[in-house]
Structure 1
């Protein structure tokens, strides 16, 4: 890329360099006219002197006697001639012009001393041919002008080249004037010349600068205040802005908005410190298109070092950037599918491994191989095979998060890299299994291959990395590959882990999910109810707790299947069943005399609460016969933090209908008073983890007391769960908590047993 500083500076200098030349030429012309007049006077004086000398030479002796003659006039004439010669010499040496007197054949009769001084000539020039020093290419033209001058008596100005004794060439401008004798005939020619080499070079540089300024490189010149003074055609072609659009405005008109203030501050600092800035910048064309350009800005300073102008040169590098991107695409991306190739996968995997080591999080590789792909190529051809691979790539990309990587290794082999998985092995394996099962389901859908419906299945091998698992890239690839072959050996269209223990965990979770889906379909669930009592032992409500009655396992703990239901989305139909069953039971108990205010508390999952129609779903359940005042929804702190505004809107809508809210497990999460005071809560629930060691751990006692005090200050009721001893109850009562739930009063009971518990004296 060319540096525009020199060419632009030349353009500025050349634009004004001709001004002193004009004044110089005018001065020279006046001097030339003076010399011509002097030459004519000198010629006439010389002619008179020569006539006198001729008369004396041819005078005949008339007598032997001596004679005398008055020579005063002759001496005065000779003195005048010497004076004029000296005057001519002084003028010719002082005016800086090169004066020559030639005869009518062009032979030199006189040359001013300046000729030798400037042209370095040591020869005796008198009597030499004046045309011999003219450049051969100009000689004939100069001779023709000289002849025309002697013939017509009218001088002409002519420019030509003169060759110096050392061979160098100078440009000259000469004017000849004819000097006549007493009869008015041409006798001599006085030629006054001056060296115009500097002017010619300036004109040449001006043409070069003008040509450079109008080059293919965009250029613009501003004043010291960055106001645009001039732009070239290339600038207009690149940006779309004409000179009329730009002149008088600043380069800010080109700003794309992609660079911050720090970028421009660094640019200004570079120009102020070094006089130049070079770099890549994104600007905007007149049509709004943003493009990349390489920009050079140079400061132009005067003799005192003060900035007078800025010269900027820009080159559109959009095509270069596109070429770079194409090169990168060819180097790092698969040409058929557009997915990252093996090289880019290894680069990203190297970064993911390092990140995993720092964050104590795990990652995974899923090695995917299409089953019986060779058969497709053999039957329908490689074009159909390529078509299938492109569709597979698109489907795989839709199965993962944006930060994950889907790569094609070659042939029908693909790899998915998952990062930022759970730090625990079993949880990370479960996350991998979810993705793997999604991939299996998506790739099992039929493919449309140019009108042919085609069914294909994958085999998937999985290995984890980070934590206790090896981190060498080659080893990871081998493990995933081996696991993939295990999947093929197991009958294909399945998923296998490299670690057998992990495989056992994944298999167990897969079996549990299958059973859970079947249980939801058959409604193999039951609600247990744990009583909530007040300070005098009166039953004021109950918490509904879900139990799974498994055919082989018996009663399955919620801690075992609720997280799986959350991950798979099965919590939504399960949560709706719990809400419907609990509300129906609450309506039965509230119908009993004296139990109009009996409440049933139902835990709501985060996924369930985030449903856009959650409020409508609850109201529809209540419309089946339950009273909203008998329903209390228990929320956890973590689910409230995701979208506090949406949470407040939903809670407010339900509370206006009579539903109450309790904040479960308060103090175990990231409690925030700023949101706590905004939420339309009715109750805080002291978590059993604080109640369990209430009598032995001072910290738990302080936390429980603080929660009770906070609830009172916010106008909320408070209840403690996990109360198992009278001593715990008494400490809580002394601190101001008068509602309890725990085994001290009763374990969770089936509905029938709970009904009998209500009737007990």
Structure 2
């Protein structure tokens, strides 16, 4: 320290305290001299004066130095007080020399809390970090080694915050540790962002391809999955646009609509075809999201996609197996029914007529028996090819099975007289084509065919009746000597009149309580009963006990089906309530079939919940069986209804799976618990038919989707063994139990 500047800076202090020291000493010396010396002399005041000046000078120096220290401390504290970091000086005994005001922001506690509670920082340390903290404190007190820690503290408000704790020692001139100095920064937000970045980095390397572009769609980054799927390296695509991946299969309007969605909603999701580096075109599911800054401006686009080639192949295979005849590759009965339904709906709107031609090969059995099935199959393939050449592209040629073919011809006109001629002309053309000789290998085969024709006009005639009319006409052609065709005879209205009577009888059946419930057990692989399906029977006054197949179609046509469905549901829930007090049946689950019209009622959910509430049963004991066609026309509405019922505890089984649309894309969306394999597949499973592949595919698909499976119509041990080998867990059929009335079913349960 330079003396003169120091003296000049503290001049007032030196003048005041030097004068004060001199005055005190002189006053004391004067008193002593006057009291002790009889003859005071000025010489006696020289030494006291000098001593007073010295003491005053030393006192002034001490005060000045104290002021200098206080000033520097105030400057340091003022700087520390302004710091965002929480700073403190702590003595070895745990008391705090200084605590910055920012302790309130970081910890939630006031400075006074630290000053009044030694080692208060230790109390704030998170329980999981206290061992590390204690070790750190010990090292600081013993060795004074500077250290940086990342620790958590509990704030006054109950929050857990991350603190970066920088600590060093404070020593005296001899090197003795007096305490510690510490700077504590709140790094909670930094840690959160680091975790988010880590999560984002982990998510970036997913199995799905990820592409990030700037606002102008220039690629900034891609992940490893992108490179694996497309075949491009990241260096080959960065800086370019995703248009380099276009397959050429989509029109410009497709991409325009994509960008329109991104600009208006900030999102696009869908399927498209792209091209790999090797030129292979493949399908993918793509989701694009626009990333915006705080001002709402788009800064980036993030695309996430997956290669859905295998899924598309699986869907195509299931579609082919379910809708096409494997021998002739013609549509099968299921696809024919679907197209006929569409054609009849179009006919209803446009007023045009259509025709259905039933075709049967004459004496085909003789060919099979004499030449073998291989020759018969080759003939069937040839017949299918010839039929396809006789009709327009909008018409349908289908094979029902065996030697039975169907041709559906639509848009024949709207004048019945002309329509009959046109239908007959088409049938005559087909007949002439099929009656020509066939070259099968080295042999020539001369065969003929018979054709039955019926017309349809709108939906006035049901598909079932239309098939019956064509079948009757075919029978007439067979009886007329074969190799000919017949149009349906309107005189065969007896069947239609019979249908009308049945519809009237159905209405009476509800009023007179003629319906009754039968129960068919559903079992596991070990034979244990897991539940039952409720089956309806009609005790007709004249016809006796009728199965559903004999009257349900009439109920659907007449609209009575909704009342019947709700009647069955009420009776089933009442029976569950009755069984609730039984030890053996208390947890029994009943499956109830609900038709499409009933399910699509606007009050269906409320009605079902009301029935369950009135019966006083647990919703989990009721399983509702729905067909695919019940939902496909209003899928979103169907899912919403199912979600409401599922949230109440009711489970769902998809009945007759494989006979409808069987689309994996909507199957994943449905809140179903079980798939029910249609009996039509099970019936032919033991004959080496294509249905074996379909059933195995359905079981495997259900397992992958986490769904239970039950096969209906299991009647033989061979069918059971095959299904069990596929891993099918549930069964229903005559092999285990026939449909039984209530008391017989309860007796069966006791025995099994």
TM-score normalised to the size of structure 1? 0.50
Rg larger in 1 or in 2? 1
Offset from partner CA, 1:305-354 (integer Å, 9 cap, x none): 43332222222233333344344445533466543233322332344456
Of 67, 74, 90, the residue aligned with 1:79 is 67
Of 480, 488, 492, the residue aligned with 2:478 is 488
Give the whole-Å Cα distance in 2 for the aligned partners of 1:290 and 1:219: 19
- Corresponding residue SS for 1:84: helix
| Mapped pair 1:134 → 2:122 | no
Change beyond 3 A, Cα 1:137–1:361:
closer
Change beyond 3 A, Cα 1:386–1:237:
farther
Give the whole-Å Cα distance in 1 for the aligned partners of 2:240 and 2:465: 62
Q: CA deviation at 1:388?
A: 4.0
Give the whole-Å Cα distance in 1 for the aligned partners of 2:367 and 2:103: 95
Give the whole-Å Cα distance in 1 for the aligned partners of 2:348 and 2:74: 101
Q: Which residue of 1 aligns with 2:199?
A: 208
Change beyond 3 A, Cα 1:347–1:447:
farther
Of 448, 453, 457, the residue aligned with 1:463 is 453
Q: CA deviation at 1:476?
A: 3.2
Give the whole-Å Cα distance in 2 for the aligned partners of 1:159 and 1:252: 47
Is the 8 Å Cα contact of residues 397 and 406 (structure 1) preserved in structure 2?
no
Describe how 1:379-398 pairs up with structure 2 within 5 A.
Answer: 388=376, 392-393=380-381, 395-398=383-386
Q: Which residue of 2 aligns with 1:517?
A: none
Q: CA deviation at 1:94?
A: 0.5
The 10-residue stretch of structure 1 (469-478 or 186-195) with the greater mean CA deviation from structure 2: 469-478
| Mapped pair 1:115 → 2:106 | no
- Corresponding residue SS for 2:65: helix
| Mapped pair 1:440 → 2:435 | yes
Change beyond 3 A, Cα 1:192–1:492:
same
Change beyond 3 A, Cα 1:386–1:141:
farther
Give the whole-Å Cα distance in 2 for the aligned partners of 1:158 and 1:473: 80
Give the whole-Å Cα distance in 2 for the aligned partners of 1:447 and 1:480: 33
Is the 8 Å Cα contact of residues 463 and 499 (structure 1) preserved in structure 2?
no
Describe how 1:394-405 pairs up with structure 2 within 5 A.
Answer: 395-400=383-388, 401=391, 402-405=393-396
Q: CA deviation at 1:243?
A: 0.7
Q: Which residue of 2 aligns with 1:516?
A: none
Runs (5+) with no aligned partner, structure 1: 1-60, 502-761
Q: CA deviation at 1:178?
A: 1.5
| Mapped pair 1:196 → 2:187 | yes
Q: CA deviation at 1:131?
A: 2.8
Q: Which residue of 1 aligns with 2:469?
A: 479
Change beyond 3 A, Cα 1:202–1:265:
same
Of 154, 158, 168, the residue aligned with 1:163 is 154
Is the 8 Å Cα contact of residues 229 and 248 (structure 1) preserved in structure 2?
yes
Give the whole-Å Cα distance in 1 for the aligned partners of 2:92 and 2:68: 26
Q: Which residue of 1 aligns with 2:631?
A: none
Give the whole-Å Cα distance in 1 for the aligned partners of 2:204 and 2:370: 61
Give the whole-Å Cα distance in 2 for the aligned partners of 1:180 and 1:467: 106
Give the whole-Å Cα distance in 2 for the aligned partners of 1:303 and 1:357: 56
Is the 8 Å Cα contact of residues 461 and 498 (structure 1) preserved in structure 2?
no
Describe how 1:650-669 pairs up with structure 2 within 5 A.
Answer: none
Of 266, 289, 296, the residue aligned with 1:298 is 289
Offset from partner CA, 1:146-204 (integer Å, 9 cap, x none): 44344444412222222223442211112222211132222121111211111111111
Describe how 1:601-612 pairs up with structure 2 within 5 A.
Answer: none
Q: Which residue of 1 aligns with 2:426?
A: 431
Q: CA deviation at 1:435?
A: 1.0
- Corresponding residue SS for 1:399: helix
| Mapped pair 1:319 → 2:314 | no
- Corresponding residue SS for 1:189: strand
Of 143, 156, 174, the residue aligned with 2:165 is 174
| Mapped pair 1:124 → 2:119 | no
- Corresponding residue SS for 2:102: helix
| Mapped pair 1:259 → 2:250 | yes
Q: Which residue of 2 aligns with 1:271?
A: 262
Q: Which residue of 2 aligns with 1:632?
A: none
Q: Aligned Cα RMSD in Å?
A: 4.1
Give the whole-Å Cα distance in 2 for the aligned partners of 1:124 and 1:349: 85
Q: CA deviation at 1:215?
A: 1.9
The 10-residue stretch of structure 1 (262-271 or 360-369) with the greater mean CA deviation from structure 2: 360-369
Change beyond 3 A, Cα 1:438–1:359:
farther
TM-score normalised to the size of structure 2? 0.51
Is the 8 Å Cα contact of residues 273 and 283 (structure 2) preserved in structure 1?
yes
Q: CA deviation at 1:246?
A: 0.7
Of 79, 83, 95, the residue aligned with 1:95 is 83
Q: CA deviation at 1:247?
A: 0.9
